[in-house]
Amino acid sequence: MNRVVITGAGTINALGATVPQTLEAMREGRLGIGALDFRDVERLSIKIGGQVHGFDAEAHFDRQKLGLYDRFTQFTLIAAREAVAQSGLTYSDELAETSGVVLGTAAGGMNTWDDNFRSVYEEGKNRVHPFVVPKLMTNAATSHVSIEFNLQGPSLTVSTACASSNHAIGLAFQMVRSGMARTMIAGGSESMLTFGGIKAWEGLRVMSKTACRPFSANRSGMVQGEGAGVFVLETYVDAKARGAGILAEIVGFSMTSDASDIVMPNKDGAARAMRGALRDARMDMSEIGYINAHGTGTAANDKTECAAIVDVFGGHADQLMISSTKSMHGHLIGATGAVELLACVMALRDGVIAPTLGYESADPDCALDVVPNTARDAKVTGVISNAFAFGGMNAVLALKAV
């Protein structure tokens, strides 16, 4: 069994267009959530989100390629370029054949669906662009990463709603650990901030009109974000041999299914996933200093997640720092675990715990140290990152400092 480390990271999200920008925003507790700006937004009752503003796709891609790239693919490629550049890897020959990519997304090319449905239904057009299908398919981003970097090994897209990225990173971790792949690119991307995307979420009535306030008694629901997070995974031995910088070690992964409700979270499913990650990592709970929470800012999630943490960690729960960076960048749905893993890297490598923004009043059902509003300096050597999806699919990653 190989030890698996992260040697590259990339992102674009509402907090920043790179990893350094994003981590700086998390350190400073900056809010990336604001007014949504897209066509027909005035017909929505939810008008805030963690949108990537001022994004100039043509600065990154030539026009011929752009015709094939939905916004979620554009975000993915930008993040992947940053991650691969940091890792220093170039994929050719045997390395190309034994390296692959696993990415998560919930909706895939939602902007492409939205634009083309509008065109044929609302505008009554009878012809759509020939690239609609290759643009919107959920594996488009994965495929374009494989094409751009010449990754010829195991590659697939994972779609488990809000846990997609954690599942993707977990699977890639298992592939490198087992020797199935030499290196893997993993993470996720989402771009659901469209009229149709938000309209669908409005229907569930769990979205906040004002702010994402995880664990705060006056929380009013979730806020959506968009963007991508991508990582380069390889073995510890390879990374050391080539003198690569190591951001963190992934040591455990667990996935469970609640098998109970299509939207309501389940304490036992969440707890089993956290326990499983610790067991897989061969870590004692006392080694964990920080939990990057799923922390959506809905009463159902936050209360259930805190109860599950207390269940798993017992008395040690009071020693843990727990934060939800969704309060800053919004809920990136299928990409959220990937962007949130950056907060885990920051905790392990830089000794800075990202805060839970928007925290205003204590909820007795969430009586844990949620690192309210201000980042904190703290030395932690072990962390876990939670993702609990609609449909009851849970994925938890465990990481260590190297």
Residues interacting with another protein, by CB under 8 A?
45, 203-206, 208, 219-222, 261-264, 298-300
Q: Are 221 and 298 in contact (CB under 8 A)?
A: yes
Strands 4-13 and 48-49: unpaired
What is the Cα–Cα distance from 123 to 137, expressed in whole angstroms?
23
Non-local (6+) Cβ contacts of 140 within 8 A are 68, 69, 70, 72, 73, 108, 109, 134
Token digits for 89? 């890897």
What is the Cα–Cα distance from 17 to 22, expressed in whole angstroms?
7
Q: Are 367 and 310 in contact (CB under 8 A)?
A: no
Nearest distance, CB of residue 272 and another protein, angstroms? 23
Question: Could you confirm whether 294 is annotated as catalytic?
Answer: yes
Nearest distance, CB of residue 213 and another protein, angstroms? 10
Question: Could you confirm whether 162 is annotated as catalytic?
Answer: yes
Decide whether 132 or 299 has the Cβ nearer to another protein. Answer: 299
Q: Are 150 and 96 in contact (CB under 8 A)?
A: yes
Nearest distance, CB of residue 224 and another protein, angstroms? 14
Token digits for 119? 């065109």
H or E stretch covering 205: none
CA separation, residue 181 to residues 77, 101, 176 (Å): 21, 10, 5
Decide whether 202 or 369 has the Cβ nearer to another protein. Answer: 202
Identify which of 164, 176, 18 has the alpha carbon closest to the alpha carbon of residue 100.
Answer: 176
H or E stretch covering 393: strand 393-400
- The single residue of 144, 331, 344, 366 carrying the catalytic annotation is 331
What number of residues does the chain have?
A: 402
- The single residue of 144, 294, 329, 344 carrying the catalytic annotation is 294
Token digits for 330? 């919004």
H or E stretch covering 255: strand 248-257
Decide whether 87 or 216 has the Cβ nearer to another protein. Answer: 216
Nearest distance, CB of residue 221 and another protein, angstroms? 4
Q: Are 210 and 223 in contact (CB under 8 A)?
A: no
Decide whether 115 or 302 has the Cβ nearer to another protein. Answer: 302
Token digits for 133? 């299908």
| DSSP conformation letters of 21-83 | HHHHHHHHT----EE--STTGGG-S--EEB---S--GGGTS-HHHHTT--HHHHHHHHHHHHH
- The single residue of 162, 306, 344, 366 carrying the catalytic annotation is 162
Nearest distance, CB of residue 105 and another protein, angstroms? 24
Nearest distance, CB of residue 363 and another protein, angstroms? 11
Token digits for 268? 């036992």
Nearest distance, CB of residue 220 and another protein, angstroms? 6
Decide whether 85 or 263 has the Cβ nearer to another protein. Answer: 263
Decide whether 166 or 296 has the Cβ nearer to another protein. Answer: 296
Decide whether 234 or 363 has the Cβ nearer to another protein. Answer: 363
Specify the 3-state DSSP secondary structure of 248: strand
Question: Could you confirm whether 316 is annotated as catalytic?
Answer: no
Nearest distance, CB of residue 266 and another protein, angstroms? 13
Decide whether 4 or 207 has the Cβ nearer to another protein. Answer: 207
Give the other-Cβ count within 10 Å of 379's Cβ.
9
The residues annotated with a catalytic role in the active site are 162, 294, 331
